[in-house]
Amino acid sequence: MEEIVFPNQIRINRKMRGVSMQDLADRLGISLSAISKIEKGYRRLNQEQLITVAEVLDCSLQDLYVNEQNSQHDVVMAWKKEQERRQEINKSSGLKVLGAALRYIRNEKSLTLIEVAENAEMTLSVYHRIEMGQREVSDKEYKNIAKALGLEVEDLKAEVKRLDEAGVLEEIIIHNDTKYKINNMNRMAIDHNNNLVDFDALKVPVFGVSGSEGSIIVDRSISGKEAIKPANLFDKHDVYGVSLCTRRLGSIISSRAIMFVAPSEVASVGDIALYYKTEQQAFVVSLREDETGQLYGLMWNPEERIYFNNDDFKKIHKVVDIAL
């Protein structure tokens, strides 16, 4: 089974507002099946899709997440029990053994996650979840993984069985379980060397006050507060925070939200970014491409386009996460 990647209350809010699954699917430009997976928490949403869902359902992003603060206790407990149930299913169905074996074989062959994922025609995220024992593998995917590891399918199956019987996978399975639980509990951090990380070292400065025309004034020489980087940004050292104090987004996202911005990340079509019109005046934009292939930034309330030239790309800082 796939891990629950986005526990949410989209279905509850959708039904409360009389919006059908098909209507929501049409607005997001995805299939009805994809909406069903999103509502069950089996499929990820990107930032722009989250904003669209909130717009369609006329609610804040905070209303969409299942958490201790905004959800009924039984809803939160049901999600936690579902996670535990899926963990047990994964273990009993052998997914953890397969994932641990794939990791062991990959390391023996001195291959990286990216190399195997690309050669198996998978995204890095999907293959990583397979090694973590959190995702089922189809026959076609199994064949592609075997090929990426330089093995025949039957040889890979035999090697997985041999490693399991030899007892060499238990340590990897325990490591994966620990990492999974820590990531979900969000109580501590582990770096790539499996060392505990001091949260104080993960604090980043937060800038930003409301400016004219819906802009945000970002004076990086003055910081009034700090925030801890999300877990997925632990290894990014140039990240800084910006208060989402613009009303160009209406009431979709709380003005207390913090954007985490990475200047060195390359922003592409579909990303949310900060565009620095001047050294300190920034606008929140969604990067789009027109029918001629020209890149522009879309702003809202009112809708407005900012077209970019080659000199502007260094002024675009990608938003890599938003803390509500």
Rounded Cα gap, residues 131 and 115, in angstroms:
14
Q: Are residues 181 and 120 in the same domain?
A: yes
pTM above 0.85, yes or no: no
Query: Which range has the worst mean pLDDT, 78-87, 206-215, 234-243?
Result: 78-87
Rounded Cα gap, residues 33 and 38, in angstroms:
9
Q: What tens digit of pLDDT does each residue of 5-26 get?
A: 444 678 877 887 888 889 898 8
Per-residue pLDDT band at 273 (split at 50, 70, 90): very high
Q: What tens digit of pLDDT does each residue of 92-114 get?
A: 447 888 888 999 999 899 998 88
Give the model's pLDDT for residue 185.
43
Which residues form the domain of 33? 10-76
Percent of the chain with pLDDT over 90: 19
User: Looking at the DSSP assignment, which residues form a beta bridge with residue 299?
Assistant: 304
Query: What is the average pLDDT across 49-53?
Result: 82
Q: Are residues 205 and 314 in the same domain?
A: yes
Q: What is the CATH number of the domain that holds 319?
A: 2.10.109.10
Q: Are residues 65 and 97 in the same domain?
A: no
Q: Which domain-ending residue is among 185, 210, 242?
A: 185
Q: How many domains does the chain have?
A: 3
- CA 204 vs CA 7, 100, 103, 317: distances in Å: 27, 35, 33, 16
Write down the mean pLDDT value for the chain. Answer: 78
Q: Are residues 221 and 298 in the same domain?
A: yes
Report for 146-160, 161-175, 192-206: range of highest mean pLDDT:
146-160
Phi-psi group of 218: left, alpha or beta (phi > 0 → left; psi -120 to 50 → alpha; rest → beta): beta
Torsion of CA 268, 270, 274, 278, to 10 degrees: 70
Q: Are residues 116 and 152 in the same domain?
A: yes
- pLDDT beyond 60 at 67: no
Query: What is the average pLDDT across 176-202?
Result: 50
